[in-house]
C-alpha cells in the first residue's frame, strides 16, 4: 500500500521488479504502444480551431452541465469527493498513544 512503513525505509526497492517476467510484460506493452503511436496517421482538421475564449461556448457548456448532464455532473462530483477522502485516509499516519 501507499502508507507501508517498509517503503519509507527502502524508497528505491519499489522500482526493482519482484518477478523478471514483469519486466518483459512492461517492455512488450511499451513496444505495442510505441508502434501504435508511430504507425498511426494523425488526421489534421480542415476547420480552424474554435475560439475557446468566446463566451457563447462557455455559456453553452455551463447550461448543458446544469440542465441535461446534471445527474452525471453530481455523480462525478461524489466520486471525486470519495476518492479524495480515501486518499486522505490512506495518507494519514497512525498516532500511537
Mean pLDDT by 10 residues, the chain (97 residues): 56 67 88 90 74 72 86 93 93 77
Residue position matching grid coordinates 518477478: 19
Domain boundaries, position 19: 5-91
17: in domain: yes
Q: How many domains does the chain have?
A: 1
Tell me, yes or no, whether 97 lies in a domain: no
pTM equals 0.40
Is residue 48 helix, strand or coil? coil
Task: Calculate the alpha carbon distances from 5 to 1, 2, 70, 85, 91 in Å.
Answer: 9, 9, 42, 21, 11
Contact 86, 79 (CB under 8 A): no
Torsion of CA 69, 86, 2, 94, to 10 degrees: 170
Amino acid at each position: 500500500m501507499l502508507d507501508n512503513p517498509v517503503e519509507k525505509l527502502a524508497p528505491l526497492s519499489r522500482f526493482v521488479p519482484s518477478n523478471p517476467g514483469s519486466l518483459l510484460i512492461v517492455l512488450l506493452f511499451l513496444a505495442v504502444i510505441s508502434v501504435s503511436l508511430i504507425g498511426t496517421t494523425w488526421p489534421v482538421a480542415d476547420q480552424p480551431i474554435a475560439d475557446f475564449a468566446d463566451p457563447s461556448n462557455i455559456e453553452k457548456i455551463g447550461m448543458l452541465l446544469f440542465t441535461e448532464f446534471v445527474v452525471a455532473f453530481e455523480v462525478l462530483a461524489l466520486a471525486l469527493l470519495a476518492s479524495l477522502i480515501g486518499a486522505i485516509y490512506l495518507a494519514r499516519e497512525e498516532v500511537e498513544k
